[in-house]
Amino acid sequence: MELLFASKYYTSYQSAEERCFYIDFGHKLIKVSFCQLLSLRYKAKQLSAQEHIEYMLNQGDTTLLLFCDKQHVLLLDTLQVLDFVDLIHGTFTMIELQDILVTV
């Protein structure tokens, strides 16, 4: 496994041999396919919307994150949500950079 991106709370890895990705949430290491990673990017965009952040700050401090066909459930507070969004953005940036380096 090779490190893709590390945020404050979470880390993402890529395994070329297994052709998959891993996300380390500190207490749980989750194996995801590229399609599942794309789904997480969509969820990260929804979580980072201004309306959702305002709702979290005004109504409740936690968000329930379901992914990988509801196999995994995470309860995230506001700082963890923002860090998760940072992780997904950084992971896709590193994937794009690796693709550029390989094709050059």
Tell me what the mean pLDDT of segment 63-81 comes to. Answer: 85
CB 22 within 8 Å of CB 1: yes
Greater pLDDT, 6 or 104: 6
Residue 104 pLDDT exceeds 70: no
* Residue keyed to tokens 């890529």: 14
Provide mean pLDDT across the span 39-66.
84
Is residue 8 classed exposed, middle or buried when 0-12, 13-18 and 19+ CB atoms within 10 A define those classes? exposed
Q: Give the Cα separation of 64 and 73 in Å (integer).
A: 7
Least confident of 56-60, 65-69, 90-94: 56-60
- Where exactly are the structural domains of the chain? 2-103
Backbone angles phi and psi of 13, in degrees to 5: -130, 160
